[in-house]
Structure 1
Amino acid sequence: MTALHDAVPEQALKWVRAGRKVALATVIETWGSAPRPVGSQLAIGEEAEMVGSVSGGCVEGAVVAEALEAVEDGRCRVLEFGVSDDEAFAVGLACGGRIRVMVEPVGVGAGLPVEMLDDLVAARAARRPVALATDTQTWAHELVGTEGGVLSVLALPRFHADKSGFEEDWFLGIHNPPLAMVVVGAVHIAQPLMEMARLAGYDAVLVDPREAFASEARFPGARIIHDWPDAALAAIGLDARTAVVTLTHDPKLDDPAIEVALRSDVFYLGCLGSTRTHAKRLARLEEKGFSADEMGRIHAPVGADIGAKSPAEIAVSIMAEITERLRRPESRPGQARQGVAAE
């Protein structure tokens, strides 16, 4: 479920559709210890209601005041807030931080067109990476995907880094789909891994048809699917913001999941098992018609080579490797890496 502070465009559109005046505020630059990263948003309704955050404290109050003016005069504006160290804590800008905030009315004057906000929300619902590009000199707006023109090329590294920011006069607000993870196998490693994935911001799903293993008692609060992995993964839907980890050691469970993942755009596929176990796995996949390049996407033995031994340490190593693959998409599974050499 999307957290409320991450559903800012959706809430803004709901207010607009209800006939209310709305403005969007976006952090476009920060210096020092600003409490919210670039790209953070705040939706402000005509009665000063708010969803989201751009900082906290009295900065929010000043932004709301400007937003209420913006929905009346139709003008976009860029605000800058900065405080000295002795005042910093009172307004939520620790250690003398400074921020610049862009305020745009929706559907009024030079502000964000309602149709573009609608398209942005639709792209987010469809899990399509999209950047809302705003020229802060002319207040032109564009929705930018991962393929297309010059802005798409400029935005691509930002999609990979999940990092909004400026490219010349254009501010690119990155709206990546939420990260997802599918863990196949309710084994002991899965217990800390599911929790770590949640803390790292992943919508994590545990798949295992064995209800005695994949139980609420062993995985409290986790989303669990008691189905065969190939059927479960097909129903979940895999895309370029999804990681898949197989942990069962049982080819009847792991192999179908691996086959589905290899035919998808998942950014990470990691499989538990020793080098010998993985060699047998590759032989089975080759018999199924998978090419060397396709099988080369598999990270196995799974996990960064940090000497992990305990289930929690192995989970740490898996999360480390997933993070590297996400943030450094040019990296590939290593040929001489050790990973977790479990049978």
Structure 2
Amino acid sequence: MDLSVLKELNAERAARRAAILITDLESGEERLVKEAEDTSADPLAETLAARFRSGKSGRVETEDGRALFLTVHVPPARIVVIGAVHISQALAPMAALADFDVTIIDPRTAFATPERFSGVNLIAKWPQDVLPDLALDRYTALAALTHDPKIDDPALMAALEARCFYVGALGSRKTHAKRRERLLGLGASPEALDRIAAPIGLDIGAASPAEIAVAVLAQIVEALRKRPAAERERSAA
């Protein structure tokens, strides 16, 4: 691989930004496509969008018969859960089985105990004190489950500002209407608030904490795999 291309690729990977290395299998020519750039004019635009969503590498052929190999580099998706609650206890092991990195944040030390969350990255601090270091991004999902505005609201604001691929919040439609008012007061735009999945989870009639966890995880997977092409960041660092 050309060293300049390798340097670019490593920079994207270090910043948790997706990129695809395109290699012409006959000539060996390489080029790097970054998800943070506008690829709408690229002749492989549709294929690239699909590969960014799936995260899968593979061979493709162009309309003029050239064989290319697309090596897809996508950051590992992760889930940040706000609230060490019963739903979180069920969600964490299921999410791990689905290959998500999971972090649970809850300042309430009576709930955030290693005994309740064995083997989970558990942080017993306020979200606003933790999230800047976690560096939320477009490959992060955030689920706010405490039902406590003092804990959930700062986390939701941080997730919206970071353009997390999924932002969900527990609560009824009435609860969410009040939440919208609070977040609008904190400076969130109506368009950003429309991105919050609330009530959280796919509508499968879930009742128990475990069933709600299934609905939440399914909705997160749907958001990851069916998400539209990332909003382009022409000024990306």
TM-score normalised to structure 1 length? 0.61
Question: Is 1:194 paired with 2:92?
Answer: yes
Corresponding residue number in structure 2 for 1:125: 14
Question: Is 1:113 paired with 2:6?
Answer: no
* Structure 1: unaligned runs, 5 residues or longer: 1-111, 332-343
Tell me, in whole angstroms, the C-alpha distance in 1 between the residues paired with 2:112 and 2:74. Answer: 30
Q: Deviations over 1:80-119 (max 9, x none)?
A: xxxxxxxxxxxxxxxxxxxxxxxxxxxxxxxx23453444
Q: Deviations over 1:134-177 (max 9, x none)?
A: 10111111121122552673412210122323252221111100
Q: Deviations over 1:225-282 (max 9, x none)?
A: 1221122112101111000000000001001111111111200000000111111101
Structure 1 residues 163 and 157, CA gap change in structure 2 (3 angstroms): same
Identity %: 47
Find the structure with the greater CA-based Rg.
1
Corresponding residue number in structure 2 for 1:72: none
Corresponding residue number in structure 1 for 2:50: 157
Tell me, in whole angstroms, the C-alpha distance in 1 between the residues paired with 2:190 and 2:16. Answer: 29
Between Structure 1 and Structure 2, which shows a larger proportion of strand residues? 1
Tell me, in whole angstroms, the C-alpha distance in 1 between the residues paired with 2:187 and 2:76. Answer: 32
CA RMSD of aligned residues (A): 1.8
Aligned with 2:143: secondary structure?
strand
Q: CA deviation at 1:322?
A: 0.7
Alignment of 1:1-343 (within 5 A): 112-146=1-35, 147-148=37-38, 150=42, 153=45, 154-165=47-58, 166-168=60-62, 169-330=67-228
Aligned with 2:107: secondary structure?
coil
Tell me, in whole angstroms, the C-alpha distance in 1 between the residues paired with 2:49 and 2:123. Answer: 34
Structure 1 residues 151 and 182, CA gap change in structure 2 (3 angstroms): farther
Tell me, in whole angstroms, the C-alpha distance in 2 between the residues paired with 1:196 and 1:292. Answer: 32
Q: Which amino acid aligns with 2:53?
A: H
Deviates more, 1:286-295 or 1:162-171: 162-171
Identify which of structures 1 and 2 has the higher relative contact order when contacts are C-alpha pairs closer than 8 Å and 6+ apart. 2
Q: How many residues align?
A: 220
Tell me, in whole angstroms, the C-alpha distance in 1 between the residues paired with 2:48 and 2:217. Answer: 26
* Structure 2: unaligned runs, 5 residues or longer: 230-237
Q: CA deviation at 1:121?
A: 3.3
